[in-house]
Each structure stands twice: as structure tokens, then as C-alpha cells.
Amino acid sequence: MRAARFHGREDIRVEDIEQAPVGDTDVRIAVEACGICGSDLHEYSHGPKFTPEDSHPVTGESLPLPTGHELSGRVTEIGTAVDRIDVGDAVVVEPNIPCHDCLYCEDGKAHLCTNTTAVGWNTGSGGFAESAVVPWGLASPDHDDLDDDRYQGLLSTGFVDEVARTATAALGLGADEQ
């Protein structure tokens, strides 16, 4: 499959790679949309910061990696233990995989986990590829009554913020002049 892989600072290449395997609790998603947020721009310009140069302590993955963490698409394959999502379902992906070990996770507040692993940064799958494999619990069913441009505004928020901050700095405007 084709994937845009981050090799290092200012080095992204579109390459043919093998598809990631689908584990028992994973789903494969045919990516239909993937946003570029401010953290992607920072990683490209100033990284690697989030993507592991050496073996990631949880996933074992290292550069080069397919990036892209704000993704949606349709499920094309499910693992043997997946029972709440079906092939063909439209889904959006929560990219942060909680550790399930820290105090926040143990208290039922996985969204505050301090040890997350991120799809599209720390795993061998990301949204800047033809397909991505994620743990099924991160794939939330989408609603078919939304049109194909459903995420354009949401996913571009980080990009718009980054452009605004960069332009403001380039123009020498202070916070009171914006």
C-alpha cells in the first residue's frame, strides 16, 4: 500500500509499504480523511519529537513511520475478538492509546493518561496511508447522516491556528495587535 512516512526533520516520503497485520482486537480502516494539525507541522519542522528514532518502549516501532493521527474511514477487516464494529462501518479514530496502568487510567479517566501511545506517531499505522490498523476500542462509529466534508473544519483547526501564529510572528505583531 502507499503511505506517507516520516523519516526525520523535513523528510516525508510517499512509499510502498506492507500493510500492518490485524491483531485479535484490532480493526483495519480504509482511510477516507486525515487532517494535518499543528502538532504534525511541528513534528515535520522541528522533529522528531513524538515519533521514535529508536525502538518505542511500548510498540517497538521506530522511524520511518506512517504518520497522521486525525483519521476517519471505513472498516475493511476486524480481528477475531472484535464484536461491536463490523466490516463496512464508517468510523472516526481516537488516536491516543491509554496505558491502563497510571492513576488516571485506574480511576477511569483514560483521557488524562500521562503515558499514552499515539496512532500515527508511535505505531506502525497512521492516517497518511491507504489503510490504518488501530485497536477496535479507538474506532467510534460515525453517523451516515453527515456528509463527506464532515471533518474539514474540525481537522483544520490546528492548521489554521498554526498559520495564524506563524503569520503573526512573521509580521512582528504582538498579542495586543492581533
Strand ranges, E, within the chain: 2-8, 11-16, 26-35, 65-66, 70-78, 90-93, 96-97, 117-118, 131-135, 139-141
Non-local (6+) Cβ contacts of 105 within 8 A are 98, 99, 113
pLDDT at residue 90 greater than cutoff 60? yes
> Residue 155's pLDDT is what?
47
Give the contacts of 22 (CB within 8 A, at least 6 positions apart). Answer: 28, 77, 78, 79, 133
| pTM given for the model | 0.80
The pLDDT tens digits of the residues spanning 17-33 come to: 999 999 999 999 999 99
What structural domains does the chain harbor?
2-15+24-144 (3.90.180.10)
Q: What pLDDT band is residue 148 in, cutting at 50, 70 and 90? A: low
Instruction: Tell me: pLDDT of 156 over 70.
Output: no
Span 28-84, pLDDT tens digits: 999 999 998 888 889 999 999 999 999 999 999 999 999 999 999 999 999 999 999
Give just the sign of the alpha carbon dihedral 68, 70, 76, 77: positive
